[in-house]
Amino acid sequence: MVDGKTYVTSVFEKVKENNNHETEFLQAVQEVFDSLIPVFDKYPQYIEENLLERLVEPERIVTFRVPWVDDQGNVQVNRGYRVQFSSAIGPYKGGLRFHPSVNQSIVKFLGFEQIFKNSLTGQPIGGGKGGSNFDPKGKSDQEVMRFTQSFMTELQKYIGPDLDVPAGDIGVGGREIGYLFGQYKRLNGYQNGVLTGKGLSFGGSLTRTEATGYGAVYFAQEMLAAKNDCVKDKTAIVSGSGNVAIYATEKLQELGAKVLAVSDSSGYVYDGDGINLETLKDIKEVKRERIVKYTEKHPNAVFTPTEQGHIWEIKADLAFPCATQNKISEEDAKKLVSNGVIAVTEGANMPSTLEAITVFQEANVLFGPAKAANAGGVAVSALEMAQNSGRTQWTFEEVDTKLKAIMTSIYKNASSAAKEFGQEGNLVVGANIAGFLKVAQAMSSQGIV
């Protein structure tokens, strides 16, 4: 029987060979595989069952044509995806991303991460992800609706409340979920558990909107508490200005931290008085405008376009990357470290490159990996599914209390797995192992499927 390292390395070689153009997918796989070597040494039966090679191959991927007509009467065509990665511990669960960068590598990396993240929440949900290369930026509500209805007309064949339950991700918020739900209902009848992130008037859960951002801050609180430290009176930078960034900012401010900067793809704003949340919400949630608009209301704030500088050059105690993948390079990480950052908490999926993570770990910066730190969103999605099944609705406080408990237990499980496998304090390894073990046990019990 080969040892863990030989086994994991040989599976990774095959994955590279079979998916050699899928760079983001390979990056996500490499990060997980590196962590799992000691697990296979401890449980050689998983090698015998070739569990890793099975897990890294999605159960199913569907890609489909999404034709729609724009406001000028032109026929547009986009590509839709759903990757149903693993149903070992529950129905496929994960968001839909609408962004021009979406391709098979992106949905596969997101779907792969989702397996472990969902497992870490302790909820019975498998891993999936989907989306389209559609760009909602600059589109009218009517265009978004026509595109979304066309997308759902095809997607509805593959999803269902006990089969696969999509939700939002970048470019898919309350408006899009509403349209998606409406089209699903028109085709299949009312089944409120088929999507999460729904509006409160048709089966949505209180706290779902806030959950990813709040959860990331709860996770940071746990990391800091383990060092007898806390969020109060800290300075923070939060990249992004979407749903995750907005509610991370809200919770940080509520806990007494000062958020100095937020960003979007055009650049970042720095406000030495602390970011004004009301203005930020108005620009991004209501008007859907660019972040530079912030300076119109707050003339003391400074806007720096992306070509002229990065948000990571700002000196702050806490960093919350909440935009998108690979936005913290090795250089950015070195800058953050030299500026004395205490903790980096990933609100986005895979926002730090593998090299950046190494920089943080070598500098002993507290590092909360995405799978663990941003699991609050999907955790509350699972709570939304539970409420839908029970035909009930919990209060904001009830859901928030459950969210907090879930984030605490994710932190505890990740840190104790890291300790058990000889890498105390390494939450990347801990989260990967803790997430993997439950999935592995389920797969092992279910035979070669």
Q: Hey, which residues are catalytic here?
A: 129
Nearest to 354 by CA among 327, 330, 371, 335: 330
**Applying CB under 6 A, what is the total number of residues that bind ligand GLU?**
11
Q: Least separation, in Å, of the C-beta of 28 and ligand GLU?
A: 12
**Closer CB to ligand GLU, residue 4 or residue 368?**
368
Residue 93 engages ligand GLU in binding (rule: CB under 6 A): yes
Contact 146, 68 (CB under 8 A): yes
* Residue 215 assigned to a binding site: no
**Closer CB to ligand GLU, residue 169 or residue 222?**
169
Q: Least separation, in Å, of the C-beta of 93 and ligand GLU?
A: 5
Residues whose CB is less than 8 angstroms from the CB of residue 141 and which lie 6 or more positions away in sequence, other chains included: 175
For 109, the enclosing helix (H) or strand (E) is: helix 104-120
Two structure tokens written together for 262: 């937020």
Segment 186-193 long-range contacts (CB within 8 Å, at least 24 positions apart): 187/152, 187/153, 187/156, 188/156, 191/160, 191/161, 192/161, 192/388, 193/161, 193/162, 193/165, 193/385, 193/388, 193/389
Alpha carbon distance 344, 78 (integer Å): 36
* Residue 6 assigned to a binding site: no
Query: What residues from 305 to 334 belong to the interface with ligand GLU (CB under 6 A)?
Result: none
Q: Least separation, in Å, of the C-beta of 349 and ligand GLU?
A: 5
**Closer CB to ligand GLU, residue 113 or residue 317?**
113
* Residue 117 assigned to a binding site: yes
**Closer CB to ligand GLU, residue 123 or residue 279?**
123
Alpha carbon distance 219, 224 (integer Å): 9
Query: What residues from 183 to 242 belong to the interface with ligand GLU (CB under 6 A)?
Result: 196
Using Cβ positions, the residue closest to ligand GLU within the complex turns out to be: 95
In SS3 terms, 382-405 reads as: HHHHHHHHCCCCCCHHHHHHHHHH
Residue 349 engages ligand GLU in binding (rule: CB under 6 A): yes
Contact 169, 212 (CB under 8 A): no
Alpha carbon distance 275, 75 (integer Å): 41
| Residues in contact with ligand GLU, shown as a per-residue x/- string from 10 to 49 under the rule CB under 6 A | ----------------------------------------
Nearest to 214 by CA among 389, 379, 416: 379
Query: What residues from 351 to 380 belong to the interface with ligand GLU (CB under 6 A)?
Result: 377-378
Residue 381 engages ligand GLU in binding (rule: CB under 6 A): yes
Residue 58 engages ligand GLU in binding (rule: CB under 6 A): no
Two structure tokens written together for 255: 């806990």
Q: Least separation, in Å, of the C-beta of 1 and ligand GLU?
A: 36
The residue from 58, 95, 204, 321 that contacts ligand GLU (CB under 6 A) is 95
Query: What residues from 165 to 184 belong to the interface with ligand GLU (CB under 6 A)?
Result: 167, 169
**Closer CB to ligand GLU, residue 95 or residue 178?**
95
Nearest to 89 by CA among 126, 51, 46, 118: 126
Nearest to 126 by CA among 435, 377, 445, 400: 435
**Closer CB to ligand GLU, residue 25 or residue 303?**
25
* Residue 93 assigned to a binding site: yes
Binding-site ranges for ligand GLU (CB under 6 A)? 93-95, 117, 167, 169, 196, 349, 377-378, 381
Pick out the residues of the known binding site for substrate. Answer: 93, 114, 117, 168, 381
Pick out the residues of the known binding site for NAD(+). Answer: 212, 243
